[in-house]
Chains A and B, each alone.
Chain A
Amino acid sequence: MPVTPPAQWQRIVIHADMDAFFAAVEQLDTPAYRGKPLLIGSRSPRSVVSTASYEARQFGAKSAMPMVQALQLCPHAIVTPPRMDRYREVSHIIMRVFESFSPMVAPISVDEAFLEMTGAEQIFGTPEQMGKQIKRSVYEATLGLTISVGVAGTMFMAKVASDLNKPDGLTVIEPGTELETLWPMDVARIWGVGPKTREKLVALGLCTIGDVARCCEPYLENQLGKLGSHIWRLSHNLDDRLVIPREEARSIGKEYTLDSDVLGAEAIWPHLRRCANRIARSLRSENLLAKGVRVKLKTSDFKLLTRQGPVEIPTNNAKELLAAAALLLEKFDLNRSYRLIGMAAFQLMEGTCQQELFVPEKLHRQRRLDSVMDAVHKKFGDTALSHGEDLE
């Protein structure tokens, strides 16, 4: 029976993180290691611990700690060298499992990934049920590895959540409860806050995420630069990043923040055309073709909205990019005014330069024109030759 999603979930993002991955794989493959403190790394004097099993962590050993120190804390630990090929093989199995849940999987390392699950409620049920199914599928596919899953409305919150009940955890942060969960936490929980930044923040009297949130953004930006603003935004769970699958990760984009806000398609259009011209030229100079186009608009109240879609034939031509963007533009609310207009080409493939047989003659001529214009721009500068419609 279809499950009606609780209305308050605007977006569902899952962060899935394997528990002590390398050590868990070794314990899976070698039964004698199971239940025992295990350190992955070498015994050489300068070696560091790559992963410590949960049994070793009880003694205080942890990842990135010098092996010598870890062995002082846990002298009876078994030490075994990493087998990266095997970990990659298992990682491959896990990523396949993730991909069976969502087409939008962004791996961030061999053992963790984000999954965009928005709209998948009809298939997998509530966010909690999604988490449970992913955990079970990973366990079954790997014949016994556990994973910790965080479910929330943003990537940042999902990542924080997956770390809350490790190992073998499942944490769902219901919409509306994010800030009460976040604010008591140590600032080190914020993505991008390492030991040094933490020190600075503590020196400013900001020990918890709540302390940061109660500051004002310009103050933090003043103290820490761009990072300050980033930290402040995350402390309010403001994170509009999208889960972008690996092959789409690379993109070429251009955006313009406007002097004054614009309203309506006609006002937006010239800026998109500017973007398209720049992007197309970059694509051609890198000999790339784009299979997808993303349009990005920021409302006057700083809400970032994006829409993306495919182009008909992989392209590096401005008009073809614009044609795809025009379809996307219809999906925005054009009765709002916007302060930033951007566009990006993604799903880039190397332009093999293999010419197509059945390209409409019009496209053919456009592509030839592009190569002539590129040559002119190279020799005489960017403003030497433009399309009439691009003249302001």
Chain B
Amino acid sequence: MEIVLSKQCFSSALARTSSISDRKSSMQILSNVLISTEPNGNVQFAATDLNLSANGVFPAEVKKQGEITLPARTLYDIVRSMPEGMITLKVDGDAVEVSGGRSNFKLLGLPAEDFPSIPEPGDVEFFEVDPGVLADMIDKTAFSISSDETRPHINGALFQGDGKVLRMVTTDGHRLSKIEIKLEQSGFYNFSMVIPNKGIGEIKRMLDDGDDMVLIGAKDGSVFIKRDVEVEKAMDDEPAKKAEFVLVSKLIESEFPPYEQVIPKGQDKKVIVDRNKLFDALKRVSVVSSDRTLGVKFQLTEGSVEISTDNPSIGEGSEIVDVNYDGEAMEIGFNARYFIDVLNVLGDEEVIIELAGYLDPAVVKDIADTFVGVVMPMRI
């Protein structure tokens, strides 16, 4: 096997696959990336941790057909540090040589036959989603995915479509984020799936540049996400080079909790507040709140909210933020981090916060009414 490809393309292929390879696995081959030539002259790169897999066909010059697996991280580090220009990868028996410019590396590979097979989309029915829309949905919800792997049913994002809206919901048991985007084009089928945390992160990475549509389809407990990704920027009169990239994630089998039931309706106190001012005040005040609970108190009165914290081992802090509110006074405690996270992802100038009692959830909404955040209070 002998292939020649540009540094940019090689490093783009490895950037997209090496993050999926599993360095901690007891199966050594999972930390490798599979590189195999295609009959039409391009090169396929693939990686898997058995739950999440990625493969893409990247433009290259194939001098001799063949396939090999190489340690993904090491290879990526080598390629990234090479000078701009063409890189040659040559396999001769067990010896793999990577060379470019005046540098030369010899690496140990593992045979491609031992690499686990990557699920093929086959006859999966795909639907199209705008990459900007999907990226926005992930941005606004991924922060509240539970990081607790022992609770698999919330260690991922619920992703649904019902023909009219696309919906993404995440929760960690203390807070919840839901975004619903109305679709201009309609007609694709109903679906509901829970995509694991790591898969969500990788999907986000493949939406980075370009405006090519994303294709999504599910089959046999896995979701396939397909997109043409840019591997080499456009140069002068040459168009950008692209590669067809497919991400396959096993779906979470356990059922997502009944989220509709915990989104309160009929909250009687409605507060409209400048997002940046509240965000900054919370960041400042939480500096002195307890490291572990990050508890802050909201004292709501007509026209203002006072954010305060009292930490016996550090000191106190408080700040008054003007709000649009004319209801009765109330006091409620929250983990500042939960509010900071949700305010951070909302783009609008103002946000709406709806409250009821001091032990009842707070609802955070954007003005466009696509986002609903639920934050459970803390007894302070």
Chain A residues in the interface with B (C-beta under 8 A): 351-358, 368
Contact = CB atoms under 8 A, between A and B. Distances in A.
Nearest to A368: B359
Contacts of B377: 355
Interface in B340-363: 359, 361
Contact residues of B: prevailing secondary structure: loop
A287 to B, nearest CB: 9
A84 B258 CA distance: 53
19 contacts: A351-B379, A352-B295, A353-B333, A353-B379, A353-B380, A354-B293, A354-B335, A354-B378, A355-B361, A355-B378, A357-B171, A357-B173, A357-B174, A357-B176, A357-B376, A358-B171, A358-B173, A358-B258, A368-B359
A358 B335 contact: no
A354 to B, nearest CB: 5
Nearest to A352: B293
A352 B292 contact: yes
Given A352-B293, A354-B376, A357-B176, 11 more contacts: A352-B295, A353-B293, A353-B378, A354-B378, A355-B361, A355-B376, A355-B377, A355-B378, A357-B173, A357-B374, A358-B173
A353 B380 CA distance: 7
Nearest to B257: A358
Most buried by B among A352, A356, A357, A358: A357
Nearest to A355: B376
A357 B175 contact: yes
Contacts of B359: 355, 368
A356 B378 contact: no
B262 interface: yes
Interface string B39-55: 00000000000000000
A368 B359 CA distance: 9
Given A352-B292, A352-B378, A368-B359, A357 B262 contact: yes
A358 B262 contact: yes
Contacts of B174: 354-357
Interface residues of B, number: 21
Nearest to B379: A353
Contacts of B335: 354
Nearest to A364: B359
A357 B377 CA distance: 10
A133 B173 CA distance: 43
Contacts of B262: 357-358
Most buried by B among A352, A353, A354, A368: A354
Contacts of A351: 379
A96 to B, nearest CB: 20
A363 to B, nearest CB: 13
Contacts of B380: 353
A170 B53 CA distance: 53
Interface in B241-287: 257-258, 262
A352 B171 CA distance: 19
Contacts of B361: 355, 357
Contacts of B376: 354-357
A368 B293 CA distance: 22
A358 B379 CA distance: 17
B379 A356 contact: no
Which 6 pairs of residues, A with B, have the shortest CB-CB distance?
A353-B379, A355-B376, A352-B293, A357-B262, A354-B378, A353-B378
A355 B333 CA distance: 10
A357 B144 CA distance: 13
A13 to B, nearest CB: 31
Interface in B158-187: 171, 173-176
Contacts of B173: 356-358
Interface string B303-325: 00000000000000000000000
Nearest to A358: B257
Contacts of B378: 352-355
A102 to B, nearest CB: 22
Interface in B172-222: 173-176
A272 to B, nearest CB: 28
Nearest to B174: A354
Contacts of A353: 293, 295, 333, 378-380
Contacts of A358: 171, 173, 257-258, 262
A169 B74 CA distance: 49
A358 to B, nearest CB: 5
A109 to B, nearest CB: 28
A85 to B, nearest CB: 23
Nearest to B360: A355
Nearest to B333: A353
Nearest to B154: A358
Interface in B78-133: none
Contacts of A355: 174, 359, 361, 376-379
Contacts of A354: 174, 293, 335, 376, 378
A357 B258 CA distance: 10
A358 B171 CA distance: 10
A355 B376 CA distance: 6
Contacts of A356: 173-174, 376
A352 B376 CA distance: 12
Nearest to A353: B379
